Amino acid sequence: MKWMARRAALRALCTGAWMAAALSPAAAQPADMQPSAEKGRQLYGSFCARCHGLNMVTPGSAFFDLRTITADQQERFERSVNQGLRAMPAWGGILKPGDVQSLWLYVMAGR
């Protein structure tokens, strides 16, 4: 009987540890897939630089100057990236949420 109680306790402990690991945000994404400014820089070069300019220096006044966005405008930024705004295409069907967060981190680092 004693071994059955130990076995049940061990099973509960392992199950709890597994659930905690599986549900933690860090475990949901490998380290190389977690949002980062470096990943945002790479994504920016592929998707954004054409209109918003290299290093966020716009080639003219036709495109939004990302250097003017403030830290309290993250929701606006994410909505614009995902859904598009005026001439800007919607990237929500192409970029993953972590990609958009990486772009945000890059933009915030470059202001």
Residue 9 clears pLDDT 50, i.e. is over it = no
The pTM of this model reads 0.70
Task: Say what the pLDDT of residue 22 is.
Answer: 46
Q: What is the DSSP string of 25-74?
A: HHHHS-GGGS--HHHHHHHHHHHTHHHH-GGG--SSSSS--GGG--GGGH
Query: Where do we find the tokens 């977690």?
Result: 34
Task: Say what the pLDDT of residue 24 is.
Answer: 47
Task: Say what the pLDDT of residue 44 is.
Answer: 97
Model confidence pLDDT, tens digit, residues 36-80 = 999 999 999 999 999 999 989 987 788 999 999 999 999 999 999
Tokens of 29: 């994404």
Model confidence pLDDT, tens digit, residues 15-36 = 444 444 444 454 455 666 799 9
Q: What percent of the chain has pLDDT over 90?
A: 60
